[in-house]
Chain A
Amino acid sequence: MMKRNIITLLLLGMMQPEVFAQADSEAMLDSLEKVWDMTLNEVVVTGTRTPKLLKDSPVLTRVISGADIRKSDATNISDLLQSELPGIEFSYSMNQQVSLNMQGFGGNAVLFLIDGERVAGETLDNVDFSRLNLNDAGKVEIVKGAASSLYGSNAVGGVVNIISRESSEPWSMNVNARYGKHNEQRYGLNFGFNTWKISNSLSAQYTHIDSYDMKNQGDYNRFYGGRTYNIKDRLTFKVTDKLKFTGRVGYFFRERNSAETTHDRYRDLSAGLKGVYDFSKATNLELSYSYDQYDKSDYMIANRLDVRDYSNAQNIGKAVLNHTFADKHILTVGGDVMRDYLMTYQFADNGNKKQITADGFAQIDLNFHKNLNLILGGRYDYFSESDMKHFSPRVNAMYKFNRFSFRGSYAGGFRAPTLKEMYMDFDMAGIFMIYGNKDLKPESSNNFQLSAEYTRGLFNATLGGFCNLVDNRITTVWNKAMNGMVYTNIGKMTISGLDANVSWKSTLGFGARASYVYTHEHVRKGEPYTASTRPHTATVRLDYAKNWKNYGLMVALNGRVLSKVAVDEFVSASSYDETVRVEYPAYTMWKLNITQSIWKGIDVIATIDNLFNYVPKYNYSSTPSTTGISFAIGLSLDIDKMVK
C-alpha cells in the first residue's frame, strides 16, 4: 500500500509541477485526496431525492460533471447525452422534430428535470431539448430505469436531471462565444455574486444557425436553421442558518425557419419559489411552488402575425420532508399537487383541457451496516381526468465488498395518459384523423437491474444488466371503424440488455472513458409496433489536461459509435399484417475539442466536429444532419479571474 501511494504521489508531482515543486508530503496527500474526491465522492441527488455520495448510492447514477460538459463542447442536453452516453439516440420525427430513444424508451418515457423540476410542453412526445441548455449547468445526473416511486409519471425508462452551477465566490462572471460552420453562433453570459445572506446567479445564452441543404437526398433534404434565447436568474436568500428561500425565473424563445412563409416559434416561462427549513440536523422540510408555461406559435412572415396554437401550463406545489433517525437511516416523505392545463390545435376547435394530479410518496434509506444499504420506497399517484390511480414501488440494495460494489434493484415505472392522448381530435392534412382515447390505461414498466462496480485508485469499471417488462405502451393505431389513428395501449414487450463502463484517470493528466450498451427490444408479433432500437452503441472519450504556470491545455476526443439496425416496418399505415425489413446504417461521429488557457481566465477553444468527415449517403431521420467535417472556434473569459 505504501509503495503504491509513493508512486501515486510521484506521478502527481509530475502532473502539477507548479503545485508540487516545493510541496511537502502533507500537501501531496491533500492533493491526492482532492483528485480522489472529484472522481468518486461526487454528491448525487436524483436517485434518492436526498444528497448522497455517488459511491454510496444504491441507485446507479451516471454523473456528467461540469468539466465533462465543457470537454464535450455541447450546447444543449441532446448534444451532451449522445456524446457522453451510449444507448442514446436523437433522431427526427416528422417535420424535423427531435425525438429521443434511450435504450428503447421514447422521449415521453424519460423524465427530464431542471434542478429537480419537471418541464412543461412537448412536440411529438418529446420535450424541447434546445430549451435544456447547458450554459449554467453544473452537472447532469442520469438514472436509467424506472423511477416513478420518486418522480411519478413519465419516469418509465429513466430520469435526466440538469443541476445548475453554484458558486461560492464573492462574485464571478463569464462571457463566452463560439462560431462554427453554417454560421453557427453561440454567446453566453454567467454572472453570480454572494453577499450578506443573498446569492444570485444570472445566465443568458443566444444561439443561431443558418438553414442549409444536405449533401445528399433523403427523408429530409434541408436542415431548418433558427435561433434561441435563454435567460435565467436564481436568487437565494438565507434568512437564518435554518431557513433558506430560493426564487427563480427563466424565459426561453426559439424560432425555427421551417418554411419560407412561416417560422415556428416556441416560448417558455418558468418561475419558482422554494423554501427549506432545517428543524434540526436530522430533519428538514422543503416546500416549493413552480410554474412552467410552454407555448408554440406560427409566425406568418407576410402579415407579421404571431398566432399561438399550443400552450401547456403547469402549476406544481411540492413538499418533501427528510428525517434522519438513529444517525444513519433517512426517511423521506412528500407529495406533489399539479394543475396541468393544455390548449392545442390538436384538440377540436383549438380547445383546452385541465387536470389535477396529486401524489404522496415515502422512502426509507436504511444503512444497517457500512457495507450494506437498502432503500424501500413507494408512491401513489392520482389523475383527475382519467380518475386513474397508480402505485409505484421500488427496492434498491447495495453491498460493498473490498473494491467492489454490487447493486440490485427493482423499480416500477408508469406513464399516465396525457391530456393530448385522451382528447386529441386532429385532422392530419385531410389525410386521416387522429383521435384521443379516454379509456387508455397507464403505460407501466417493471425494471430489474443488477450491476457490479469495481474501483481501484483512479480506475473504475461497471458492468450491469437490465430488464424492463413494459406493458400497455401507448401509441397510435389505425382504427378501421373510425377510419383514423386512435391512441391505444399495445401488448407487453421486453427491453433488456447490458451496460458496461470503464473509466480511468491518470495522475499525469490523461483520462479515458469507454461505455457500451447492448439493447434488445422484444415485441410480440402481431402488435402494431416494431422494435427500432440500435442494438449496439458505444461512446469513447480520451482526454488530456495539464496546467502550467501561465498556460493550460485540455484536449478531449469524444466519439460515438452506433451499430446498424434492421427494422420491420409496416407496408401500410392502416394494416399491421405485412412488414418490410429496412436497414438503417451504422455510423460513427467523433469530435476533437482543444481548450487552451492562455492567460488568467481566458480560454480559447477550437473544435473539429465530425472528424472523419462522415456524410450520410441517404438522410434517414435517424442519421445525423451533417454535411461533413466542421470547425468551430470559441472564446471564454472569466472576468473575475482576469481582474483579480
Chain B
Amino acid sequence: MNKLILITLSGVAAMLLPSCNDVLGDLYDEPVATSEYGFVEVCTESKPGLIYINATDYTTWTYIDFENRRIDSLYVNDPAPSDWSFAVHRYDTKTNNAKVIATTLTDINEARAWTDAGNVEGAGDIWTTDKIVTDMSTMMDGYLSYADSYYNPVLSGWLNVDTSTMPPEYTMSDKVYILLLQDGKRAAVKLADFMNSAGIKAYMSIQYVYPL
C-alpha cells in the first residue's frame, strides 16, 4: 500500500509540473499607454486635430483654449483661466460665452463646408445647480454633491448617459458641433470616444477643426 501511495503522490507531482497561468494571453491587445494629453494632433487645412483629456476627476474642469492650443485642469470652484474656449467636466461641458449648434454632420472632415443656412443662433450656457456632480461617494447616503456652474446643454448632448438602469447606458450622439466663439471665430468639435484604450471612462477624445 505504501508503494501505491508513493506512486500516487509522484503522479500528482509530475502532473503539476506543467502548471501554467496563461495559455490564452496572445489573443489580447495591450491597452495603449497614453500619458500625452492636450492637443495631441494639431488641426491643419487638410485634416482635423485631436484633443485628448483625462476628465475622470469629478472635482475638476478641463479648460480648452483653441487659440493657444492649451489645456488646463482646475478645481471646479476655482476661477477659469483668462483664455479658454470650452471646458469639460466628466462628460459635461461649458463654454466661454460661446453659442453651440448641433449639426446633422457626423464627419468632422465636412465641417469646413458647413454653413448655417438657416442662420441658426446657437445655444448658450445655462446656470445649473444640479448638473456638475463633484462627489459620487455620497450616493450611498442617498444624495449627490453638485457644484453650481454654467453648463451647455447642447454640447453636453455629445454623450447621453442613461442612468435609469444599472449600469448606465452610454450613447454618443456622433454629431459634429459648431462653436460660435465670443471673439467671432468658429470651431467644430466631435466627441470621438469617451474611454481610454483600457476601457476606462471619462478619457475624452475630441476631434476639432479650428478656425473654421
Which residues on A are within 8 Å of B, measured CB to CB?
94-95, 217, 219-222, 259-262, 267, 269, 273, 275, 285, 287-289, 291, 293, 295, 297-298, 300, 302-303, 305-309, 311, 313, 315, 317-319, 321, 335, 337, 339, 341, 429-432, 478, 483, 572-574
Asked if B9 lies at the interface with its beta carbon under 8 angstroms from chain A, I say yes
Q: Which residue of A lies closest to B28 (CB)?
A: A308
Q: Is the CB of B20 within 8 A of A269?
A: no
Q: Which of B46-54, B69-77, B81-89, B134-142 contacts A (4 or more CB under 8 A)?
A: B134-142
Residues of B within 8 A of A259 (CB): 169-170
Q: Is the CB of A432 within 8 A of B140?
A: yes
Q: Is the CB of B199 within 8 A of A298?
A: yes
Encode B168-212 as 1/0 by CB contact (under 8 A) with A.
011110000000000000000000111101110000000000000
Q: Is the CB of A429 within 8 A of B136?
A: yes
Which listed residue (B9, B18, B22, B139) contacts A313, Cβ 8 A? B22
Q: Is the CB of A339 within 8 A of B19?
A: yes
A572 to B143, CA, bound (A): 11
Q: Is the CB of A313 within 8 A of B12?
A: no
A319 to B18, CA, bound (A): 17
Size category of the binding interface on chain B: 35 or more
Encode B4-43 as 1/0 by CB contact (under 8 A) with A.
1001110111011011111111011111100000000000
Main secondary structure of the interface of A (DSSP, over half): strand
Asked if B164 lies at the interface with its beta carbon under 8 angstroms from chain A, I say yes
Q: Is the CB of A307 within 8 A of B31?
A: yes
Asked if B79 lies at the interface with its beta carbon under 8 angstroms from chain A, I say no
Residues of A within 8 A of B150 (CB): none
Interchain residue pairs with CB less than 8 A apart (17): A221-B164, A261-B194, A262-B195, A262-B199, A269-B24, A285-B7, A293-B21, A303-B193, A305-B197, A308-B28, A313-B22, A315-B20, A317-B11, A319-B9, A339-B16, A430-B58, A432-B140
Residues of B within 8 A of A269 (CB): 23-24
Residues of B within 8 A of A318 (CB): 12
Which listed residue (A302, A306, A313) contacts B193, Cβ 8 A? A302
Residues of A within 8 A of B24 (CB): 267, 269, 293, 295, 311
Which listed residue (B58, B142, B193) contacts A572, Cβ 8 A? B142
Of A217, A260, A317, the most chain B CB neighbours within 10 A belong to A317
Top 10 nearest A-B pairs (CB, nearest first) are: A289-B15, A317-B12, A315-B19, A298-B199, A287-B11, A319-B8, A308-B28, A317-B15, A430-B136, A574-B140
Q: Is the CB of A260 within 8 A of B12?
A: no
Q: How far is the CB of B189 from chain A (nearest CB, A)?
A: 17
A273 to B16, CA, bound (A): 12
Residues of B within 8 A of A317 (CB): 11-13, 15-16
Q: Is the CB of B167 within 8 A of A95?
A: yes
Q: Which residue of A lies closest to B7 (CB)?
A: A285
